[in-house]
Amino acid sequence: MPAGRLLLQTTKLNKIVSRNAFTATKPDPSRPNMLRVGLAVGSTAFLWAMLFKQHSNDVQEYKKRNGLE
């Protein structure tokens, strides 16, 4: 049996035996995943807080270096 035919039979067998791990389902907008929403909002709030803190530190350092304080 040629190698090409053997490979074709193997791919047919794999398609029959294995199932697809990725399913195409539409998300239901009436039932949001609250864990994901909470993680997204929490991480966004954390990043904004870190941004404001870093900005405040940068402004203080700028004033100190330029003798404005």
The series of mean pLDDT values per 10 residues for the chain, 69 residues long, is 60 59 79 94 98 98 93
Q: What is the DSSP string of 35-58?
A: HHHHHHHHHHHHHHHHHHHHHHHH
pLDDT tens digits, residue range 31-48?
989 999 999 999 999 999
Q: Is 67 left (phi over 0), alpha (psi -120 to 50) or beta?
A: left
Using CA atoms, how far apart are residues 39 and 47, in angstroms rounded to an integer?
A: 12
Cα separation of 56 and 44, whole Å?
18
pTM of the model: 0.57
Residues 62, 68, 69: CA angle, nearest 5 degrees: 95
